[in-house]
Amino acid sequence: MKLVVVGLDGAHWELIYPWIEEGALPNIGKIIRGGVWGDMLSCLPPVTLPNWKCYSTGKNPGKLGIFWWENIDFNKGRIYHPFHRKFLHKEIWDYISEAGGKVGVIGVPGTYPPKKVNGFMISGGPDAKEKGFTYPKELERRLRDEWGFKLRPQNSILDKEKFAEEVNEIIDIKFKVAKTLAKEYDVDFLQVTSFEINTMHHHFWNDPLTMKCWKTIDNHLKDFLNEKTNIFLMSDHGSNRIETVFNINAWLRKKGYLKLHSTSIQATKILYHLGIKQETLASIANKLKLRKILRKVIPRSFLKIFPNEVGEVKKIGSMIDWEESMVLASGQGPIYIRATNEDEKRTLINKIKKELEELVDPVTDKKIVERVYLKEEIYSGEYIDEAPDLIIDQAKGVHIPGDFEIEDGRIFYSPTKGWKAENKKWGLFAAYGPDIKSEKKIKISILDLAPTILHMFNISVPRDMDGRVLMEIFDEQSEIAKRKVRYREINEKEKIREKIRRLKIRDGTR
């Protein structure tokens, strides 16, 4: 049995279904007409990380200890990324490798640096670096020499046409590489993921340039539609067009919950009024052909001190008055709260939850949030104490950036610049192949895919996975459908080995 999983970051039927209906994406059309398809619920917040890890481990963010691209620690007054936690839990490809199956993994966010597998792995996503991104190590040179492989576009988003063309080329090369290496390594499981398509959604939404990239993906899918291969299409979250921008940290500042150092605010305002913005610097670097060089010598954290085109500045810990602040939010949902005691904290949590759930855009009169969850309602696991205290489920059409709006403290505004589309909790899923039912529509969770894939490979499902095996997607006559799902407990020896493995990862000796 062969399985190909095509990961489509930020994809949802809302965008592509009209293109399917008009025949622009014939192979995706064939998959949903002849297979199983529907919506897939992401873990909140609906963001690349944690959701790619939720998919590959079958575990919720409370077990992973990853709640967004950043975690916030009020006690230590810091904003940080728990890098090592990306490797603490076994993933689908680890289990299949250990069972003797051959795997190929390319482009999945959160896989840098790549791990040793029984096959090959090529890291991807925004967190991968330009060197050391392949296993085996020697594969990196071959990717560059034979295919001109790139991890990310070199052209600036300011040059719309060139940027989109380069993204399309990266997607095309990625699928060509995946198919070539899958044959060479004779893999049983292939995961090929495009993070780049999500960039197109954010910046271009339903522009013809986005559809061109989707056509490239669709054209490559044709090679996977055969009698011997099952194929899954899946996304880590969906996307929808932005109608309203709600700057939550500007709102928290106005309410008095969040305090910034006045000198930091003043300095950023001066930069903005002088026209020294991120986009200006990027444009100059692009024109002088210095972009590649500057990327190597200037850390990304340095650019966070400059405002963007709408006067927002990326959060940096030094701007925050940690002693005076009670609340701080990341983008797209997580909110962290500090208080002197538990009663005070509970009161503050309930107050902010109520205020947000009642909040409406004064222009559109539409609600800003679908619902605000307490962390205990959606997370479980060893890291729940570090989890955000509240998690927003954004209303349709609402974008919640996590930056500081320091120019005039705007709370609501229209998306005239920047992103055109924002993440949403519903992504997509489709399955097609010899073992899959046809013409069936379902709703599932992203947590269900890992246990389902393990069952397909006749591997027992660890009890600590949070999802379920999707038996309803399999054709009743298939061997997979007839096979009983096997679960396994984690015994004490395994727990000790796992603890040692995690300690090595934390110490950087893995």
pLDDT per position as a tens digit, 318-328: 889 999 999 99
At 252, the amino acid letter reads: L
Are residue 309 and residue 333 in the same domain, yes or no? Answer: yes
112-121, 154-163, 198-207, 280-289: range with lowest mean pLDDT: 280-289
Q: Quick one: which of 348, 364, 11, 334 has its CA closest to 202?
A: 11
CATH code of the domain containing 487 = 3.40.720.10
Whether the Cβ atoms of residue 80 and residue 336 lie closer than 8 Å to each other:
no
pLDDT number for residue 508? 53
**In the chain, what percentage of residues exceed pLDDT 70?**
85
The dihedral over CA atoms of 124, 96, 7, 223, expressed in degrees to the nearest 10, equals 110
Checking if the pLDDT of 140 tops 80, the result is: yes
Confidence grade of residue 312 (pLDDT, cut at 50, 70, 90) = very low
Q: How many CB atoms lie within 10 A of CB 15?
A: 23
| d(C-alpha 202, C-alpha 421), whole Å | 5
pLDDT number for residue 299? 47
Last residue of a domain, one of 370, 389, 418: 418
Helix axes 196-204, 160-185, angle to 10 degrees: 160
Confidence grade of residue 281 (pLDDT, cut at 50, 70, 90) = very low
Q: Would you put residue 282 in left (φ > 0), alpha (ψ -120 to 50) or beta?
A: alpha
Average pLDDT, the chain: 89
Give the model confidence (pLDDT) of 464-476 as tens digits.
Answer: 999 999 999 999 9
Are residue 180 and residue 105 in the same domain, yes or no? Answer: yes
3-class secondary-structure state, position 267: helix
Checking if the pLDDT of 397 tops 90, the result is: yes
Are residue 15 and residue 162 in the same domain, yes or no? Answer: yes
pLDDT number for residue 128? 93
Checking if the pLDDT of 307 tops 50, the result is: no
Model-level pTM? 0.89
Are residue 437 and residue 385 in the same domain, yes or no? Answer: no
Half-sphere exposure of 160 (CA within 13 A, CB side): 9
Q: Quick one: which of 235, 200, 218, 304 has its CA closest to 13?
A: 235
Half-sphere exposure of 172 (CA within 13 A, CB side): 13
Confidence grade of residue 417 (pLDDT, cut at 50, 70, 90) = confident
The arithmetic mean of pLDDT across residues 480-502, rounded, is 76
Are residue 60 and residue 195 in the same domain, yes or no? Answer: yes
Distances (CA, A) of 50 to 76, 152, 233: 22, 20, 19
pLDDT number for residue 403? 86
The arithmetic mean of pLDDT across residues 490-495, rounded, is 64
Task: Name the token pair of 314.
Answer: 């990326």
Range of the domain at 342: 244-418
Confidence grade of residue 156 (pLDDT, cut at 50, 70, 90) = confident
Task: Provide the number of structural domains found in the chain.
Answer: 2
Confidence grade of residue 418 (pLDDT, cut at 50, 70, 90) = confident
Are residue 129 and residue 110 in the same domain, yes or no? Answer: yes
| d(C-alpha 185, C-alpha 470), whole Å | 28
At 193, the amino acid letter reads: T
Are residue 274 and residue 193 in the same domain, yes or no? Answer: no
Are residue 342 and residue 375 in the same domain, yes or no? Answer: yes
Give the model confidence (pLDDT) of 27-85 as tens digits.
Answer: 999 999 999 999 999 999 999 999 999 999 999 999 999 999 999 999 899 998 888 89
Q: How many CB atoms lie within 10 A of CB 82?
A: 16
pLDDT number for residue 271? 43
Are residue 250 and residue 231 in the same domain, yes or no? Answer: no
Half-sphere exposure of 286 (CA within 13 A, CB side): 16
The arithmetic mean of pLDDT across residues 256-281, rounded, is 58
Last residue of a domain, one of 361, 395, 418: 418
Are residue 234 and residue 115 in the same domain, yes or no? Answer: yes
Are residue 83 and residue 223 in the same domain, yes or no? Answer: yes
Checking if the pLDDT of 15 tops 50, the result is: yes
| d(C-alpha 419, C-alpha 399), whole Å | 9
Are residue 234 and residue 104 in the same domain, yes or no? Answer: yes
The arithmetic mean of pLDDT across residues 130-152, rounded, is 96
pLDDT number for residue 385? 95
Checking if the pLDDT of 162 tops 50, the result is: yes
Confidence grade of residue 406 (pLDDT, cut at 50, 70, 90) = low
Task: Name the token pair of 407.
Answer: 């120019």
| d(C-alpha 252, C-alpha 256), whole Å | 6
Last residue of a domain, one of 418, 445, 460: 418
Higher pLDDT, 312 or 153: 153
